[in-house]
Structure 1
Amino acid sequence: MFKKSSISLLIATLFIGSAVAMEKTYHASEKALKLTYENILIDTHIDVPFRLEKKWEDVTQATENGDFDYPRAKKGGLNAPFMSIYIPASLDKSAESTALADKLIDYVEAIVGRAPDKFAIAKSADDVEKQFKQGLISLPMGMENGSPIQGSIDNLKHFYARGIRYITLAHSMSNHIADSSYDLRRQWKGLSPFGKELVVEMNNLGIMVDISHVSDDAFYQAVEISKVPVIASHSSLRAYTPGFERNMSDEMIKALGANGGVIQINFGSTFVSKIARSWSDTLSNKRKELEEKEGKDSELAKGFAKQYVDKNPMPFATVDTVLDHIDHVVKLIGIDHVGIGSDYDGVGDSLPVGLKDVSSYPNLVQGLLDRGYSEKDIVKILGGNLLRVWRATEEYAAKH
């Protein structure tokens, strides 16, 4: 048994205080439901393909696991979820990286093949609008981690042809394109020489540049090089999680706004809540201490996380926590630069109360209404802002 540190006791105490928030029940009004269902709702980051790689489920039907399936998407009004083609950072500089990306795209095509009356691949903003009118759920795709490009513009063109419409330049480790916010090694001090070339070629092809996960230097360089607005497909704000470089600082958000880009807010509790972030950091630090003392493969180390969580449950964020991030962006750079990038199926059990799966978007819309957002502004947040950037990317590519 391990004694709780003073930090753990503080987190546990804070969690007790948040338990009231956890009991809150969210009810979307008819107005919120109407707004959600009658407009295009784009979520730029849902990790269904890698979830299916770990364990296949038919998401065209109701599923017991995960955060996404067709019935829940319909209930939530979700009609254009970007399927994340996520490639683990460990596969950089290997043919396996490229092969896995193709395999995950195959999964998305298989979803459509199983239920063409429910889903359709979307390769353009026009596709999304057309399929929305047809009552179909569009499945555009974004590649999380540019590792599968493997330094080849031919590979870039291949994945564009297969439907990739944004690329997150790096993930949890520095790769051959860019430095990662999570990686202390800053081998490129931003973008690699190939990474700089890649941003230009992505512009020319019509693939949105996604700066989630990259280091600050890589972000600023990408913004400087890109001739079209960039996106942060699933990031939140450093103002609420001090020291968490994976999120964006106010200065970066201002640069994103000047670029015309959009930040799509990540829902994960550790992305939006300082308390949850502290809880997660404490867990990681204590586990690391134990692994150094007992060894990574020891029974104590293997069982520590569960033991810790049982005694110190995660202090989940709420809908209001997510709304605070949206408010902050709007105050900094205006309504035209924020949207939704939930990270459903990608952040495990850390999702906020009231936003536990893809059926929950009406709760967010109700919260926006409660905070005084106009219907016009809510439509922009739901999908209008992302469509603007996507169209700008397409228009530039058409000329080049």
Structure 2
Amino acid sequence: MSPKTDVRSYTLAVSWEIMIIIYYPSPDHRSEHLDTSYGLLVLLELISPILANMHILGEDLVKALKLLADVPLIDGHNDFPYFLRGWYPDQVNTVDCQHMPIAHTDLERLSQGRVGGVFWSAYVPCPDANASNDFSVDVHHQCLRETLQQIDIIHGLIERYPKNLGLATTSTEVWNVFKSGRVASLIGVEGLHQIANSPGVMRNFHRLGVRYITLTHDSNNLYADSTNSTGPVHGGLSADGISMVKEMNRVGMVVDLSHTSIATQKHVLAVSKAPVIFSHSSCSSVTEHPRNSPDDVLDMLQRNGGVFMITFIRKSTDSINPCLERVADHVQHVGDRIGYDHVGIGSDFDGVMQTASGLDDVSKFPLLIAELLKRGVSEQSIRNMMGLNVLRVMDDVEQVSTAMEEAGEEVLSDKFEEIWDNKVREEVRKTRGVFD
């Protein structure tokens, strides 16, 4: 047999194993189909995006798909709900989400990419990215309204596709949805501007299923400084911000530090009682960019017990050659610096126009896993990175919340405006028999 025939035979054999793993993710149903041609055309269509890389990745891709069948890969940040609102404003609740080539995300490619869980972002823009630090409640009312609409879009998406998606608010629910063959759907909110300066709104977001809130987006707010604003106003957290982080700890809302200033990151890591996450960030030591975090922040995150989720944003990945391999460099840097117990993935699919080449949509996650395997990253480290780390953080945050509740930590109250004048108060006194 010629070398060329050997390569062809090997590729076909490995390709067949990949198809079986994808079509039959449960090991119990896999072995009986390894020697049959059942569903060949369907399987070929499912894996066509990754077969193109077969000659390069080979056995590493097979191992990657096996890992993805065993542990949920959880993407820390996906803006598909905002894309739906932007591209299909009149069809948000009716458009077919099975196949949507114009987006980075659809249900078909989530299956191809063996995605186990997603934090769908209920993102809305800041009131004005160039505002002169106007933190008044009035300018945030529209943000609150639109955030509730985005949360509704996410719930509607889950309800429309119950065979593909399942709502998850705890690690146990993530596992249950994953084991049922669906994508565990979690919710994140991308900025405290979206709570309209109200701790009560934050608590209600939690009741609606939101499990993390990013402290800032592109502008400073009442609570914290952003990395993208014209300059800091608080020097990290404000006094209200310190109180809000404590309240998020008490409620069980994960604190997300992506988009925040370095001073904010260090301030939060010094005061938070619970582990935090960076839902979609990159490393300054790999690529210099204002959104990227330095090593001393990573060191503090290790002590905090949190997770740094690597994004696919091109400008954060590399200024010259933003590609899959450079994303892997960021993953390895975090793993080598503070351990693979503190690294994850947060793509930002559909939140940017383009992502790093080779990671062009949600079907490409197996290629990143295969690249890390090729580099010698251990399978257990990759399991941790794929999803076990963020699930641990969710558990730890819940435990801190329970402990704070049991300790009787005070609820952070809203600053309520007066709704009654003295005349109404006097009427209450008279009719209820209350006299001074």
Alignment TM class, shorter chain as reference = 0.7 to 0.9
The match for 2:111 is 74
Partner of 1:317: 322
- 1:47 maps to 79
2:221 pairs, out of 163, 175, 179, with 175
Match of 2:122 among 85, 88, 91: 85
**1:36 matched to 2:68:** yes
Structure 1 window deviating more from structure 2 (187-196 vs 53-62): it is: 53-62
The aligned counterpart of 1:259 is 304
Alignment map for 1:147-296 (pairs within 5 Å): 147-242=193-288, 244-275=289-320
Greater relative contact order: 1 or 2 (C-alpha under 8 angstroms, separation 6 or more)? 1
Query: How far has the Cα of 1:59 moved from its partner?
Result: 5.7
Q: CA deviation at 1:375?
A: 1.4
Contact 1:151 1:194 in 2 (8 A): no
Contact 1:59 1:70 in 2 (8 A): no
Change (3 A) 1:334 1:59: farther
Counting matched residue pairs gives 335
TM-score of the aligned structures, taking structure 2 as reference length: 0.74
Q: Residues of 1 paired with 2:97 and 2:176: CA distance?
A: 20
2:171 aligned residue (116, 122, 125)? 125
> Does residue 97 of structure 1 match 2:143?
yes
After TM superposition, the score normalised by the length of structure 1 is: 0.81
Code of the residue aligned with 2:101 in structure 1: it is E
What letter is aligned with 1:323?
Answer: A
In our comparison, the structure showing a higher alpha carbon Rg is: 2
Q: What is the CA-CA distance between 1:156 and the residue it aligns to?
A: 0.9
Q: CA deviation at 1:240?
A: 2.4
Q: What is the CA-CA distance between 1:352 and the residue it aligns to?
A: 1.8
Q: Which amino acid aligns with 2:325?
A: D
Describe the superposition over 1:284-312 as per-residue Cα deviations: whole angstroms up to 9, x where unpaired: xxxxxxxxxxxxxxxxxxxxxxxxxxxxx
Please give the root-mean-square deviation of Cα atoms over the aligned residues, in Å.
1.5
Regions of 4+ moved over 4 Å: none
Q: Compute the displacement of 1:159 (Å).
A: 0.4
> 1:45-89 CA deviation, whole Å, 9 max, x = no partner?
000111111123636411121111111001101121100111211
Q: Which residue is 1:139 aligned to?
A: 185
- C-alpha contact 1:238 1:247 (8 A) present in aligned 2: yes
Distance, in Å, in 1 between the alignment partners of 2:373 and 2:228 is: 35
Are the counterparts in 1 of residues 120 and 187 from structure 2 also a CA contact under 8 Å? yes
Whether contact under 8 Å (2:317, 2:323) holds in the other structure is no
Q: Which amino acid aligns with 2:235?
A: K
> 1:261 and 1:232 mapped to 2: Cα distance?
8
Aligned counterparts of 1:340 and 1:61: Cα–Cα separation in 2? 23
User: 1:160-211 deviations in whole A, cap 9, x for unaligned?
Assistant: 0111101100011111121100112211111122111110011011111001
> Is the aligned partner of 1:26 residue 2:53?
yes
> Aligned with 1:108: secondary structure?
helix
Distance 1:69 1:152 in 2: 34
Distance 1:269 1:210, change over 3 A: same
- Residue deviations 1:13-66, cap 9 Å, x none? xxxxxxxxxxx9633532221212332110010001111111236364111211
Contact kept? 2:223, 2:241, Cα under 8 Å: yes
Task: Give 1:357's aligned residue.
Answer: 361
Matched, 1:343 2:348: yes
Which residue is equivalent to 2:34? none
Q: Which amino acid aligns with 1:261?
A: G
What secondary structure sits across from 1:90 in the alignment? coil
Q: Calculate percent identity across the aligned residue pairs.
A: 35
d(CA) in 2 for partners of 1:216 and 1:69?
Answer: 34
List gaps (5 residues or longer) in structure 2: 1-50, 129-134, 406-436
> In 2, Cα distance between the equivalents of 1:219 and 1:352?
25
Letter in 2 for 1:77: R
- Rounded to whole Å, the distance in 1 between the matches of 2:391 and 2:272 is 18
**Aligned mates of 1:136, 1:203 — CA distance in 2:** 29
